[in-house]
Amino acid sequence: MARVAVFHNTLDFQGGADVVCLTACAALQRDHAVTLYTISETDPRDLAARFGIDLDTAALDVRIPAGGRPVARLLSAGAPAIGPQLALRSVLLRRAVDGELPSFDLVVSTANEVSLPTPSVQYVHYPQFHADRRPGDDGGRLNRVWSRLAAPRPEGLGDGTALLANSAWTAGVVDDVYGVRPSVLHPPVDPIEGAVDWAERRDGLVVVGRLAPDKRILDAIRIVDGVRERGHDLTLHIVGAAPRAYRRYVRQVESMAAERPYVTVERDASRERLEELLCTRKYGLNCKPEEHFGMSVAEYVAGGMVAFAPNSGGQREILDGRGDRLFGSTSEAIDLIAAAADADDPPTLPPDRFASDRFRRAIRNAVAREL
């Protein structure tokens, strides 16, 4: 049994990266003593329950640096005025725990690339440093500062570091930034039990994910408006976490939904409620372009839905590049969903493609190799 530290800048955004973090912790608990370092006000126990992750939270040693909770609350309260926070939180966490990390046999970063003083496994959802090397990417005006303080050197991503990425698309971005191409390990998304037959499902769209501007939830409402104008009586359920950092945007979404009886917003729904929607509605929709992987899209497939997403990023891999499921604009999304509603064809993608057993096994193997 080894002592393994999991480095995760924050759980406060309650998204796919946090599913990866907690699933990795659960996978490594089988063979190792696991300590989670983070700067968060979110309780890992609550998040594990919401995501349906069988994590032994009693055995997980969670360490938040002194002052970490007040800092997390301050950063969440200050968003979006503060701008992008992931790199900043990584710098703060890296500096706070620098003296403790060498006492571990291995460090696993589940929140992107970072300079570490020990052998490591690093899982990249999207590069958090060197935004200036990514055309059109806004990492915030201080990203160069954070990069100087905590970004790894390309040579440091060689021996002693196992580098993983959540999609082939993300792996390509990492290669562009650092000149090193990670292995691809798609995030864990289990097939959902209890999915009803296609003929028994309701004519509804579901949007899953945190209620944040980058998810373009307002576009989803406009899309269902357009599909209904084509004569299809589709409803829309918007289900997602509502972190304090996005409170202004959440109010906009709820205000727009309140004007439409066919749109429902459910904040912080239970896992049971989420699975009920995924298993009983026909269509799932994601509106974020260049999604690094697309956990919600994978969950739509896992629930037996027909999924639609922008024609960019890692979500193309989930939907196998299908032209009748991937759109380039709001108007094209309306066309595709209306056509699917006309055809009423059931889904063809396998629901178990990204099962968590595969992910857990790969994380354990990566750690074993580095140890």
Q: Domains in the chain and their CATH numbers?
A: 3-188+355-370 (3.40.50.2000), 198-343 (3.40.50.2000)
pLDDT score of 140 more than 80: no
CA dist 239 and 268 (Å) reads 7
* pLDDT at residue number 241: 81
pLDDT score of 139 more than 90: no
CA dist 352 and 358 (Å) reads 10
Higher pLDDT, 135 or 116: 116
* pLDDT at residue number 259: 97
Q: What percent of the chain lies above the pLDDT cut of 90? A: 82
Span 22-41, average pLDDT: 97
pLDDT score of 83 more than 90: no
Span 136-159, average pLDDT: 84
Average pLDDT, the chain: 93
CA dist 207 and 221 (Å) reads 10
Span 206-220, pLDDT tens digits? 999 889 899 999 999
Taking the mean position of all CA atoms in its chain, how far away is CA 77?
A: 21
Span 330-351, pLDDT tens digits? 999 999 999 999 999 999 999 9
Alpha-carbon torsion (359, 267, 269, 58), positive or negative: positive
* pLDDT at residue number 225: 98
Span 99-109, average pLDDT: 96
Biggest CA–CA distance in the chain, Å, is 63
pLDDT score of 81 more than 80: no
The answer to whether the bond into 127 is cis (omega within 30° of 0) is no
Span 108-129, pLDDT tens digits? 999 999 999 999 999 999 999 9
* pLDDT at residue number 50: 86
Lowest mean pLDDT among 21-25, 62-66, 77-81: 77-81
Which DSSP string corresponds to 114-162? ---SS-EEEEESS--S-GGGSTT----TTHHHHHHHHPPPGGGGSTTEE
